[in-house]
Structure 1
Amino acid sequence: MGQQIAQTLSDRHGFSVDAVAHMLQAVYNGNGSMAQFSHPEFGGSGQWMSGGMMMLGDMFNQNLKYRVSALCEDCARSIAENQNGTQSGVFQSQSQSGGSNYQDQTSGSHGGQNDLFAPDPRSNWWPQELGSPTASGSQNQTRYAYFANERRLAVATGDDVWVYDTLQHNIGGFSQQQSGDGSITFTSQFGTVSLATLPVVSRNGVPVPPPQTVPEPAPIPEPVQQPFYNEPAPNIAPAQQPAPSQNQPESAPANPSQNPASSDVFETIDRLGNLLDKGYITQEEFNQKKSNLLDRI
């Protein structure tokens, strides 16, 4: 029935079914007489009260104000016609500035029964062993459920359900970046903290082991600088000659008279002297040959 009413009002007022369902829930939370809402199709955050009071984030858009006011009146009329129970419990609505972000958060439980709002088929999407959440909600395409006693936080993005260990954090709210990487942050007694800092416990029911620390690589030793080819060779002392043995006599200086070559020279000079005496050679020739022979010694 709720889907049929949302579709009918969507066709009538020109808003999407998602936006109409959001307004139906807001008017229902205000017991059909008021609503606090936050949706990009409604100009961001706004308030409506039966009797003509309407406040929009886009305050100068009179056409949009008229359309949203008419939608709220029809939502209140549809709720009154189909309501067969009363609502109890606590509902908290949180809105983010920027016009393109909205977030609904519920805490506690709703009593009574209302045929207008069928159970959400995505309800109880978190692991059932965690029990009932302390708070649950959604923002854009992300759903979350916080379990304070179990110190666990379940986050659904698309078809994946991640469960985080909340450590010492007492979570009180969530937000998601609308630009950049769309990262999720939460607030606790320690301030604003990124969701990426929490350890992942499981993904789609499968435990996720803690990340292993990778040892740092050993430092690479500096290369030894080799000498250039034109560098002078190191000064190496020449090898010392072995000292002469004491038992080995030192060699005496050479005696020309004991040299065999000297004996041949003197014999040749004697023969030349005989030739000179016999007149075979002249004195000049003798002196020249003698000088050459003596040079050989």
Structure 2
Amino acid sequence: MRQLSEEGRRTLGGIAERYGVSLGAVEHLLMAIIAGQATQAQFNHPDLGGMGQWSEGGMIMVGDMFNNALKANVAGVCSELSALVRGMDLPGPQTPSQSQYQGQGGGVSLFVPGALSAGNWWPEELGHPASTGAQNDLRYAFFPTTRRLAIDIGGRVMVYDTKDHRIGGFSQQQSGDQSLSFTSQYG
């Protein structure tokens, strides 16, 4: 996880307060939106109804699918975070210069300088993930352009070749075990 600056913590804390979710949930969404290049996010956080997805333009899915208030909150948080990320210049792999958000009131430094590039736990050569998630000491990052899936279990990172699988969904159990399921064109 990238280290937030004090300004970043205040900015994200304000968003969390406005929408009635935890700072951890907002940080989780920020990382998902950065991974989705400010246009989409896949997330899995209890404050956000578990697993869900957001796409710019109005698509929102949360685990508690009939909770319209939760959907509205998640959409609001994602929209605000997307605007922040757009100001961070994210064309490819992140660099420390991307920690600046140029808003109406001047620049807000979201991340501690230099901490942004060190925040990735996967091998740098994999590039920018399309999807990431974490739960129960297990985290994953999926890289469709390099056709790789990185999985970290308790600090041990393994990288798998996904061959021709077009993975479109991930599922992690909320119990104490470490299981991860995928959905691709093959099921």
TM range (shorter): 0.5 to 0.7
Instruction: Tell me, yes or no, if the aligned pair for 2:54 and 2:60 is still in contact at 8 Å.
Output: yes
Letter in 1 for 2:18: R
Aligned to 1:139: 134
In structure 2, how many angstroms separate the alpha carbons of the residues matched to 1:35 and 1:176? 16
1:46 lines up with 2:41 in the alignment: no
Letter in 2 for 1:28: I
Letter in 2 for 1:36: Q
Instruction: Tell me, yes or no, if the aligned pair for 2:48 and 2:62 is still in contact at 8 Å.
Output: yes
1:86 lines up with 2:62 in the alignment: no
Instruction: Tell me, yes or no, if the aligned pair for 1:175 and 1:184 is still in contact at 8 Å.
Output: no
Q: Larger relative contact order (C-alpha < 8 A, sep ≥ 6)?
A: 2
Q: Alignment partner for residue 21 of structure 2, among 15, 34, 58? A: 15
Q: Provide structure 2 residue ranges, at least 5 long, that are not aligned to the other structure.
A: 1-6, 100-109, 141-150, 163-169, 182-187
How far has the Cα of 1:31 moved from its partner?
2.6
Aligned to 2:80: 74
1:35 lines up with 2:19 in the alignment: no
Instruction: Tell me, yes or no, if the aligned pair for 2:51 and 2:171 is still in contact at 8 Å.
Output: no
In structure 1, how many angstroms separate the alpha carbons of the residues matched to 2:44 and 2:138? 17
How far has the Cα of 1:124 moved from its partner?
7.9
Letter in 2 for 1:26: A
Percent identity between the aligned chains? 32
Q: Provide structure 1 residue ranges, at least 5 long, that are not aligned to the other structure.
A: 89-109, 146-152, 188-297
How far has the Cα of 1:8 moved from its partner?
1.6
How many positions carry a matched residue from both structures? 144
In structure 2, how many angstroms separate the alpha carbons of the residues matched to 1:125 and 1:47? 22
Aligned to 1:216: none
In structure 2, how many angstroms separate the alpha carbons of the residues matched to 1:140 and 1:58? 18
Give the number of the structure whose alpha-carbon radius of gyration is greater: 1
How far has the Cα of 1:26 moved from its partner?
1.9
Letter in 2 for 1:51: G
How far has the Cα of 1:117 moved from its partner?
4.2
Aligned to 2:167: none
Classify 1:72/1:185 alpha carbon distance in 2 versus 1 (closer, same or farther; 3 Å).
Answer: closer
Q: Alignment partner for residue 10 of structure 2, among 4, 22, 25? A: 4
Q: What's the C-alpha RMSD, in Å, of the aligned pairs?
A: 4.2
**TM-score in terms of structure 1 length:** 0.37
Structure 1: 4+ residue segments shifted above 6 A: 131-138
In structure 2, how many angstroms separate the alpha carbons of the residues matched to 1:71 and 1:61? 16
In structure 2, how many angstroms separate the alpha carbons of the residues matched to 1:143 and 1:120? 21
How far has the Cα of 1:72 moved from its partner?
1.4
How far has the Cα of 1:123 moved from its partner?
4.7
